Amino acid sequence: MSVSVAHAVAILGMFFISTTFSVGDEIANAMPASVLMAIRFGGAVILFVPFIMWRYGLKWPGLSGLWRYGVLSFFSGVFFWTMFEGLKTTDSLNAGAISTIVPGCTGIYGALLMRERLGRYRWAAMVIGLAGALWVIFRGDPERLFALELSEGDAIFFGGCASMGLYAALIPKLHRGEPVAVMSFWFLLITTLGFLALSNTELEQIDWAMVESSVWGGLAWIVFGPTLLTFFMIQATSIAIGSTRVQAYSYLIPAFVLFIDWVSGRGLPSAMTIPGIAIVLLATLVIQRGIIGEGSVRR
């Protein structure tokens, strides 16, 4: 894969991930968040099994592997549960903006756990991205910011993003050299079992015959696109151009969510929101430029 193609695929992958917020906003009230997540990850496991059996075979990871995958499943599971729970009381644009704090949280955790040096460009991108996210959430109103007028959904998802940052930082620490696909399969399976256990009583209370086809369609897309397909896209592009440059494109998510909402007829936010999105986009340029600069220095 060429560098230019890798960048294009990475951006497309982030676009697919962005659809989770808009689609999730539409279906979040259809079922409890734990049930939605059990279906999401369970569907991904079913689609993933043939590839794992063909490429690697199903091998028991042992108690050590289960412990490591369980830790990762817990922290990522918190993120996905809070996303859908939060979308019940906030909107897709706010959730997309809040998600841009994940790279910053990952960097901070990495510095603490792995003694990684962030560098001035990453620090700048984190600060700029957070500023843009706060602008979107509070619609550019300083009074709302200083009063911390967060909706319940915003506050819930903030906690989930902090958890996701820890998940991302722990991956290299808990990885023992196994193929990424194998690690991801067990992570998906354990996450599915966790959500099934969490939602066992709620599953019995759902009238499955009354679930609308649009909900099933939304879930089908989330299982295939943002969950399974993007795994392969991000894995391939991370090898080609590096994980930092790929993850930097996550700052594009608010702009993608804005576009998706507009195309789907959900309208545009207030004009005061647009500068915040522009600020978040600037974070992408800063970190991409920083990595290029660092590379030229090494050469």
Q: What is the pLDDT of residue 67?
A: 92
Q: How many Cβ atoms sit within 10 Å of the Cβ of residue 217?
A: 13
Read off the pLDDT of residues 37-48 as tens digits, 9 standing for 90 and up. Answer: 999 999 999 999
More confident residue, 190 or 255: 190
Q: Which residues lie below 8 Å from residue 203, measured CB to CB, with a gap of 6+?
A: 35, 38, 196
pLDDT at 177 exceeding the cut of 90: no
289 is in which domain, residue-wise? 3-298
User: How much is the mean pLDDT over the chain?
Assistant: 82
Token pair, residue 13, equals: 């992958």
pLDDT one-digit tens code per residue, 100-115 = 888 778 778 877 776 6
pLDDT tens digits along 51-70: 999 999 888 888 888 999 99
- Do 236 and 6 meet the contact criterion of CB atoms below 8 Å apart? yes
Tell me, rounded to whole angstroms, the distance of Cα 51 from its chain centroid.
Answer: 23
Tell whether the model's pLDDT for residue 294 goes beyond 60.
no
For 6, the 3-state DSSP assignment is: helix
Q: What is the per-residue pLDDT for 296?
A: 42
Q: Please determine, for residue 244, whether its predicted confidence score (pLDDT) is greater than 50.
A: yes
pLDDT at 240 over 80: no
Return the DSSP state at 227.
Answer: I
Plot region of 115 (φ>0 → left; ψ -120 to 50 → alpha; else → beta): left
Average pLDDT over residues 82-90: 91
CB 132 within 8 A of CB 279: yes
Block residue for tokens 């992958």:
13
Q: How many domains does the chain have?
A: 1
What integer pLDDT is reported at residue 147 of this predicted model? Answer: 56
Which tokens hold the place of 42?
Answer: 């369970």
